[in-house]
């Protein structure tokens, strides 16, 4: 087996990367613009069930991504000729993982404190106000921070693609390795 870095990411990385990107962005946008505006009453139950299930599936994709991140060969890190930007790039990649983990943990924390799984079974009444639970505040702030990080990540990909013109995006797509 060759010890050289491949030119592209492994197809499993590609699938998990784009799946996680789409699932995370949808969870944030729907959380902010569909779920959050609904008043905290029983009418919110089905939207919240879908959100919690989606978050759980996202957690599974994240675990698969972390396992493959450390087990499958990857291309060498991209560089920009700037030590500072290379550091920012590594930090953003790391914080993207931290952000998604933070969303799952704070969402689960809110669910536990609000006894949401008993609410879903109809065993206890719907909580009066999710904002009364500290993890819910963390969930909201982390969502905003994660959106900012996704913005930086997309800006960096566009910089490579259209200013540096090194076709970096092709590495995160299918093709000859």
**Minimum separation from the CB atom of position 35 to ligand HEM (A):** 5
**Minimum separation from the CB atom of position 131 to ligand HEM (A):** 7
Reduce the DSSP state of residue 46 to 3 states and report it: helix
Please state the φ and ψ torsions of residue 34, each to the nearest 5 degrees.
-115, -55
Q: Which residues in this chain contact ligand HEM in the complex, by CB under 6 A?
A: 24, 27-28, 31-32, 35-36, 48, 51-52, 55-56, 58, 100, 103-104, 107-108, 110-111, 130, 136, 139-140, 143
**Minimum separation from the CB atom of position 167 to ligand HEM (A):** 30
Q: Which is nearer to ligand HEM, 111 or 171 (CB)?
A: 111
User: Long-range contacts made by residues 135-139, C-beta under 8 angstroms, separation at least 24?
Assistant: 135/105, 135/106, 135/107, 135/108, 135/109, 135/110, 136/106, 136/110, 138/102, 138/106, 138/109, 139/103, 139/106, 139/107, 139/109, 139/110
**Minimum separation from the CB atom of position 11 to ligand HEM (A):** 24
Q: Which is nearer to ligand HEM, 13 or 51 (CB)?
A: 51
Q: Which is nearer to ligand HEM, 52 or 64 (CB)?
A: 52
Q: Please give the C-alpha separations between residue 102 and each of 38, 135, 163, 169, in angstroms, as whole numbers.
A: 23, 10, 33, 27
Q: Which is nearer to ligand HEM, 52 or 145 (CB)?
A: 52
Q: Which is nearer to ligand HEM, 123 or 163 (CB)?
A: 123
Structural tokens at position 115: 């006894």
């Amino acid at each position: 087996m060759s010890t050289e870095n491949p030119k592209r990411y492994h197809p499993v990385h590609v699938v998990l990367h784009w799946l996680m990107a789409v699932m995370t962005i949808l969870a944030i946008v729907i959380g902010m613009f569909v779920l959050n505006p609904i008043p905290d009453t029983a009418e919110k139950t089905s939207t919240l069930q879908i959100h919690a299930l989606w978050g759980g599936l996202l957690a599974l994709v994240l675990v698969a991504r972390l396992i493959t991140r450390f087990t499958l060969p990857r291309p060498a890190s991209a560089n920009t000729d700037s030590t500072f930007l290379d550091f920012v790039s590594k930090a953003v990649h790391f914080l993207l993982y931290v952000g998604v983990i933070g969303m799952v943990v704070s969402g689960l924390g809110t669910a536990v404190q609000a006894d949401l799984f008993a609410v879903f079974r109809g065993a206890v009444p719907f909580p009066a106000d999710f904002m009364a639970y500290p993890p819910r505040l963390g969930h909201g702030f982390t969502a905003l921070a994660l959106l900012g990080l996704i913005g930086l990540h997309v800006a960096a990909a566009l910089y490579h693609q259209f200013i540096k013109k090194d076709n970096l995006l092709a590495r995160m797509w299918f093709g000859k390795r």
